[in-house]
Amino acid sequence: MTILPSIDQSAYTRMTTAELRQAFLVEGLFQQGAVVLKYWETDRTVMGGVVPGAEKLPLGCPRELAATYFNERRELGIINLGEAGTVEVDGAVYIMQPFDCLYVGRGVRSVTFASANPASPAQYYLLSYPAHVAYPTTHAAFAQTVATELGNQLQANARSLYKFIHLGGIKSCQLVMGLTVIKPGSAFNTMPAHTHLRRSENYLYFNVPANAAVFHFAGLPQETRNIMVHDKQGVLSPSWSIHCGAGTAAYSFVWGMGGENQEFSDMDPAPIHTLR
C-alpha cells in the first residue's frame, strides 16, 4: 500500500508543479484485475480502486494497517463508477449498479468484489477512515437518491449533488461521501470555495472526456495553485486547502470527507473576491 505523506502550508507554498502533483494528485487506482490502495497520512485516509475481471477480488489487509482484517478498526465507503457488479460483505451479497453506494461498518471481516460482466467490469472506488463505533452495512441505490440542485447556468456552475453517507442518510462514524454531476454547459464545482478546519476532503474525478481536463484549484485561500486532473484521478485536500474546480467539458466527481465533524454545511468560506 502506497503511503502518501501529509504536507503543511509552508512546504506547499514553495512546491513546483511536479512536486504539487506528486504530493496531492492520486492516480493509478483503477487497474484491471487488481485492488489498489493508497494511505494518506492526513486523518489516516485510505483511498482505493477495485476492477474485478472474471475472478472475484477480496479486500485484503495491508501490513501497514497492523490489523487482522481491513475493517477491524475502520469503516469503508464504496461507489461503483463502472458497470454492474456485486459486493459480498460477510456472506451478504449487494447488487451494485452504476453509481450505487455501499457503506461497510467497523468489524466486518470479509469484503469481496465482482463484476456482472468481466468484459464491461465494475469499477469500485473505495474510501476508508478509522472508526470507533460500528454502524450496519447499508446500500444506497443511485436511482433512488434524490439530488440537490445547485448553481445555475449564468454562473456556469449548474450541478446535481447526491449525498449518500451523511448525517441525514447512511450513518457512519466519521465518513461523509457522495457525488456531484456537473451539467452540460457548466464548468465550475463547489463555488464559492471554502476550507474545512475540522476535516480533510478528497475528490475523485470521473466521466471526464478523453479530450478534456479539470483544473482543480487548491491551497491557502490567499496562495492558490491549480492541479490538472484527468479521468479517474483524485486530489487530496488538507483541512487548510480550498477545493474547487473548472472543467473544459462537463464531468463528475466523488467527494469524501473524514474528521471530527460530519455536518455537511460546516465550512469556512473563502469568498471569491478574497482569493489570490
Which candidate, 111, 117, 33, 121, places its Cα nearest to that of 82?
A: 121
- The mean per-residue pLDDT over the stretch 110-133 comes to 98
Query: Is the confidence at residue 159, as pLDDT, over 90?
Result: yes
* pLDDT tier, 229 (very low <50, low <70, confident <90, very high otherwise): very high
Mean pLDDT across the chain: 96
Give CA–CA dist 44/60, Å, rounded.
17
CB 61 within 8 Å of CB 110 = no
- Reference 246, options 204, 189, 193, 203; nearest CA is 189
92-98 LR contacts (CB < 8 Å, sep 24+): 92/137, 94/137, 94/139, 96/122, 96/124, 96/139, 97/141, 97/142, 97/143, 98/142
Cell numbers placing 144: 433512488
pLDDT band at 261 (very low <50, low <70, confident <90, very high): confident
Q: How confident is the model at residue 264 (pLDDT cuts 50, 70, 90)?
A: confident
**Tell me, what amino acid is at 183?**
K
CB atoms within 10 A of CB 197: 12
Q: What is the pLDDT of residue 197?
A: 87
pLDDT tier for residue 233 given thresholds of 50, 70 and 90: very high
| pLDDT, mean of residues 94-123 | 98
Domain total in the chain: 1
266 pLDDT tier (thresholds 50, 70, 90) = confident
pLDDT at 97 over 90: yes
Is the pLDDT score of 183 beyond 80?
yes
Please give the average per-residue pLDDT across 171-196, as a whole number. 95
Give residue 201's pLDDT band: very low, low, confident or very high (50, 70, 90). Answer: very high
Q: Structural domain of residue 170, as residue ranges? A: 2-274
Residue 145: CATH number of its domain? 2.60.120.10
Residue 116's pLDDT band (cuts 50, 70, 90): very high
Point out the least confidently predicted range of 24-38, 68-82, 152-166, 254-268. 254-268
